[in-house]
Chain A
Amino acid sequence: GQQVMQIPQYQHVQEGEDFTTYCNSSTTLSNIQWYKQRPGGHPVFLIQLVKSGEVKKQKRLTFQFGEAKKNSSLHITATQTTDVGTYFCASNTGNQFYFGTGTSLTVIP
């Protein structure tokens, strides 16, 4: 099946610092989705990228899809305590969805 590797597994940042998580695949992906899961909660969809080299922004969050469609990144500028949680990338082939291992973000006030 499709494998999506995600790094780092954990990240601690001071409030106001930037944060980036990366997803990598050995195969070309048809799309990449990003989710956020707050502590004790369930994953919530953030965005989907489908085009090679695509960049999308949501306020302080910037999402990129690599030119070869084998990697993606999520960058948060000037983190806030509300950004705490685990961020997952995912991709689907047909009806099956494959999730990365997630990056757990801790923001230190």
Chain B
Amino acid sequence: DAGITQSPRHKVTETGTPVTLRCHQTENHRYMYWYRQDPGHGLRLIHYSYGVKDTDKGEVSDGYSVSRSKTEDFLLTLESATSSQTSVYFCAIRGWTPDTYNEQFFGPGTRLTVL
């Protein structure tokens, strides 16, 4: 168990409002990731972090920002939510041993609906 939690688990919001999703881990893992999952698109990387205040963009980063001010929390912000950002959002951490380094351990997900 990688000890990953996500909050909120469900959220309904309106177009144009800001939204922040939180990913929390308890074991000081270095790498954290945000993905969105949509039918027909699988999982697509939004942003990832490789340390405190160190982040980089993924393939679908437009409209999203992230912050990591402490090791255990990785925040995903939608500055002005749009209906196209309705999705299920998963946080993940990267494996921390040589055998698991290319594994992704996922949190339970957040279902976001933008009306």
Q: Is B102 touching A92 in the complex (CB atoms < 8 A)? A: yes
Find the B residue at minimum CB distance from A9.
Answer: B40
5 closest cross-chain pairs (CB), A and B:
A99-B43, A42-B106, A101-B42, A45-B103, A99-B42
CB-nearest residue of chain B to A33: B102
Shortest Cβ gap from A108 to chain B (Å): 21
Question: Judging by beta carbons under 8 Å apart, are A45 and B104 in contact?
Answer: yes
Partner among A1, A6, A90, A102 whose Cβ is within 8 Å of the Cβ of B104? A90
- Across the interface, which residues of A come within 8 angstroms of B108, CB to CB? 41-42
Majority secondary structure of chain A interface residues (helix, strand, loop or mixed): strand
How many residues on B have C-beta within 8 angstroms of the other chain's C-beta atoms? 24
Nearest-neighbour CB distance to chain B for A55, whole angstroms, equals 18
B3 near A: Cβ within 8 Å?
no
Beyond A42-B109, A100-B42, A101-B42, is A95–B103 a contact (Cβ under 8 Å)? no
Name 9 A/B residue pairs within 8 A (Cβ), A-sorted.
A41-B108, A42-B108, A45-B103, A92-B102, A95-B50, A95-B56, A96-B59, A97-B33, A101-B42
Residues of A within 8 A of B74 (CB): none
Whether, in the assembled complex, A66 has its beta carbon less than 8 Å from a beta carbon of chain B, the answer is: no
A98 close to B (CB within 8 Å)? yes
